Amino acid sequence: MENFIFNIPTRAYFGKGQIENLASGIKEFGGSRVLLAYGGGSIKSNGIYQAVIDQLNGAGIFYVELSGIKPNPPIEDVYEGIRLMKENHLDFIVAVGGGSALDAAKAMAAGAKYDGDVFDLISSKVAVSDAAPLATVLTMAGTGSEMDMGGVITVGENHKKYAILHPLLNPKFSILDPEYTYTVPEHHTMAGCSDILSHLMEQYLRPDVGVDVPDRMNEGVMKAVLDNAPKLRHNPNNYNARANIMWASSMALAGFQFMMGKQFGAFPVHSLGHELSSLNDMTHGITLALITPAWMRFTLISAPQYTSMFARFARNVFGVIETNDAKAALVGIEELESFYQSIGMPSRMRDAGVEKSQLEYLAEKATEFGDIGTMSPINKAQALEIYTMAW
Amino acid sequence: MENFIFNIPTRAYFGKGQIENLASGIKEFGGSRVLLAYGGGSIKSNGIYQAVIDQLNGAGIFYVELSGIKPNPPIEDVYEGIRLMKENHLDFIVAVGGGSALDAAKAMAAGAKYDGDVFDLISSKVAVSDAAPLATVLTMAGTGSEMDMGGVITVGENHKKYAILHPLLNPKFSILDPEYTYTVPEHHTMAGCSDILSHLMEQYLRPDVGVDVPDRMNEGVMKAVLDNAPKLRHNPNNYNARANIMWASSMALAGFQFMMGKQFGAFPVHSLGHELSSLNDMTHGITLALITPAWMRFTLISAPQYTSMFARFARNVFGVIETNDAKAALVGIEELESFYQSIGMPSRMRDAGVEKSQLEYLAEKATEFGDIGTMSPINKAQALEIYTMAW
């Protein structure tokens, strides 16, 4: 068990109508000239844009808009935000949207306070040392970006994904109104649930032992996702279910799970999934549902010393009753696959438009910076094995 | 489901040797002249006192000592601390100890910034509006005071307990070194575990519905307590078990459980238990073990509409397999009683030195400021009923 520092710098305003705290929050954290960053036009049709603008205008806060931030946000969108901030001497960012707008805003926050190319920070060549304060208004649950310190940015022709990570990038506060997610289509709602579950599993299934409190809390959040995601499939306006999924998103990455020796480190399924997204813009949460079961089966074979951990996952999260660890572990994976099917996730990469001939390229790219494994090594050969199992 | 604001202002340094962050932390939060507040002499025999002093001296931080803070801390100790702070122009408090030293320090922190009698603040006649910054070095797990905003102070000849509560009283940071609890005697270690469990149950068993994420996290922390407490009975130096219990203490009251409609409110078992402590200085955690099962049986009878909540508790925390809710609920209470027995808690008030003739007085005092119930009313008659069941 390792030492840790527990510190959750982001404040959350959770519930109906919490947008009313936006302007006062901006002022509390010293904002006077705001970059208002968002993605597509959906926030204009569902009233969220107007609510944000009303807050800013009502408080006389100057703002400049950056619209059209793309999914899997490209560095070009980040450059544009930084340009607007520097040219207009903006001192605060309000990001409205899901993970893409929020992640891009984090890179903008760091880049606005950096004299060089923000790619230095995104690629970890230079450490983040300052950042503009950021607030978020969440419109889609999943990435956890509303409560965490990281963002994922897509760079270059190959759509390589880089994670920019620093506590200075934690939002000062986030507005979490479950009603703001009512209009998220079922497909994206469920992909978000898959993303939340993956964040929890990637922290739970690690070579750390004896850390019962965070692991037990993690199991609890996983069960809440399993219980609430299906409720939203045919009833997208179920407030309690939307609220539980939104709060699960925040709790999954707010830092509780990294405690007591659950060290921050590689998220192998995310690494493998990012390459799938890079290849064909596949929705992030879907890539995770495709790869997780294969990664689990691969790990059970390549690192059998962790079988009991997968058995515990099966028993404590899915209620599997089976005394033999190896059998329990496999039943747990089947239960997970059933859950994915129940929320409409595709189960094979081949069904999701990936050609078998692409797998080697994916494995090459996923491991180009080295081993991405946690419980067992994952270099190119192992990555190819996992992709093949998932295909 | 109610709206809420999530904000955890206390930073925790958790693990072996984290005392090394004490001096830098004091300076970071503006402290230059410190009140060093602690209880009995145990911290001098186990080396913790020396480690604290070394930190202060090593950084050249001026300090004045207040030793001898008593269990169930009386307001007189608080007065003494405030006097020392005002006379010596102290600007920061370091509290070393368990809940008593920490709770007393919180009242001192508020009183040092208040011109009137601190009883005004303790009795909620006047709201806290300012407080000196506070850091804690925890030496016993249980009360959660190291991560929360409250303290309980004993006042007057009847030893009445008052809770002073305000976010300004959250410690700026807490040093949580599980090794610092190795010398806590078994009896007090187990009473601390009972206290932690009670904090979790008092938040879980409430008339709030649909709040799956915090309830599931709560269940997880409860299970971690059930698993780890018995490990410490005959092996007090089990680091992982000490660490899990210490972190469970902090997580139980850090504010996660109050979220999503788990509104902050009465803790009826604590209210009933405080009177037992007032009567004969009984250890707080023991009073909770004595009263909780009786309160549960009382509530099942008086508020049967919440039977399913107790059944869920039985199933999800104790793994009770019983489809009938009423039966499951009762089996869960029996499982809880078995747990208390397994960690050496007395099971009847009569065995803990309480006379039957005292019950009416206890019921009178527990409800003197009004109803203390949550799921069903608890005025004097109901309090007497619960005490009688527990006797």
List all residues 6 or more positions away from A193 whose beta carbon is below 8 Å from its beta carbon: A141, A142, A225, A229, A232, A245, A285, A343
List all residues 6 or more positions away from A126 whose beta carbon is below 8 Å from its beta carbon: A114, A116, A120
Which residues of chain B does CATH 3.40.50.1970 include?
A: 11-180
Residue type, B224: A
Residue of B1, B7, B219 lying closest to A243 (CB–CB) = B1
The correct answer on CATH 3.30.200.20 for the domain covering A186-390 is no
A231 near B CB under 8 A: no
Tokens at residue A31, please?
A: 């904002």
- The interface predicted TM-score (ipTM) is 0.93
Most B CBs within 10 A among A197, A212, A223, hence the mutation to make, goes to: A212
pLDDT at A262 over 70: no
Task: List the helix and strand counts (H, then E) for chain B.
Answer: 15, 8
B3 near A CB under 8 A: yes
The CA distance from B101 to B38, in Å, is 5
B220 CB neighbours in chain A (<8 A) are 213, 215-220
B244 CB neighbours in chain A (<8 A) are 210-213, 260
- The C-alpha of A216 sits at a distance from chain B's nearest C-alpha, in angstroms, of 4
List, as ranges, residues 80-119 from A with C-beta within 8 Å of B: none
On the 0-12 / 13-18 / 19+ scale of CB atoms within 10 A, A345 is buried
On the 0-12 / 13-18 / 19+ scale of CB atoms within 10 A, A64 is middle
Of the pLDDT bands very low, low, confident and very high (cuts 50, 70, 90), residue A291 is: very high
Angle at A75 between CA A73 and CA A76, to 5 degrees: 100
The CA distance from B194 to B287, in Å, is 9
A228 CB neighbours in chain B (<8 A) are 212
Q: Give the Cβ contact number of residue B30 at 10 Å.
A: 11
**For the segment A342-376, what is each residue's pLDDT rounded down to a tens digit?**
999 999 999 988 999 999 999 999 999 899 998 99
The CA distance from A375 to B284, in Å, is 43
* Residues B2, A15: C-beta atoms closer than 8 Å: yes
Helix (H, G, I), strand (E, B) or coil at B48: helix
Nearest to residue B278, comparing CAs of B175, B174, B155? B155
B321 near A CB under 8 A: no
Residue of B nearest to A177 (CA): B3
Distances from the Cα of B257 to the Cα of A160, A185, B262, angstroms: 39, 30, 6
Task: Give me the pLDDT at residue B257, please.
Answer: 62
A17 near B CB under 8 A: yes
**For the segment B145-194, what is each residue's pLDDT rounded down to a tens digit?**
999 999 999 999 888 889 999 999 999 999 999 999 999 999 999 999 99
Tokens at residue A280, please?
A: 């064909």
Residue of A11, A15, A223 lying closest to B3 (CB–CB) = A15
List all residues 6 or more positions away from A33 whose beta carbon is below 8 Å from its beta carbon: A61, A62, A63, A64, A88, A89, A90, A91, A92
Report the pLDDT averaged over residues A186-208: 94
* Residues A2, B15: C-beta atoms closer than 8 Å: yes
List all residues 6 or more positions away from B57 whose beta carbon is below 8 Å from its beta carbon: none
Which residues of chain B does CATH 1.20.1090.10 include?
A: 186-390
Under 8 Å CB pairs connecting chains A and B tally to 121
Of the pLDDT bands very low, low, confident and very high (cuts 50, 70, 90), residue B262 is: low
Bigger pLDDT: A265 or A180? Answer: A180
Task: Give me the pLDDT at residue B264, please.
Answer: 63
**For the segment A66-86, what is each residue's pLDDT rounded down to a tens digit?**
999 998 899 999 999 999 999
B214 CB neighbours in chain A (<8 A) are 247
List, as ranges, residues 252-271 from A with C-beta within 8 Å of B: 256, 259-260
Of the pLDDT bands very low, low, confident and very high (cuts 50, 70, 90), residue B279 is: confident
Residue type, A353: G
**For the segment B51-108, what is each residue's pLDDT rounded down to a tens digit?**
999 999 999 999 999 999 998 899 999 999 999 999 999 999 999 999 999 999 999 9
Residue of A nearest to B244 (CA): A213
A231 CB neighbours in chain B (<8 A) are none
Contact B260, B2 (CB under 8 A): yes
Tokens at residue B152, please?
A: 């309980």
The CA distance from B337 to B333, in Å, is 6
The CA distance from B325 to B312, in Å, is 8
The CA distance from A221 to B135, in Å, is 31
Bigger pLDDT: B282 or B387? Answer: B387
The CA distance from B93 to A315, in Å, is 46
pLDDT at A317 over 70: yes
* Residues B7, A7: C-beta atoms closer than 8 Å: no
A8 near B CB under 8 A: yes
- The C-alpha of A9 sits at a distance from chain B's nearest C-alpha, in angstroms, of 8
CATH for A11-180 (3.40.1210.10, 3.40.50.1970, 3.30.420.10, 3.20.20.105): 3.40.50.1970
Verdict on whether the full-model pTM lies above 0.80: yes
A239 near B CB under 8 A: yes
* Residues B14, A260: C-beta atoms closer than 8 Å: yes
A218 CB neighbours in chain B (<8 A) are 220
Residue of B nearest to A6 (CA): B12
Contact B288, B195 (CB under 8 A): yes
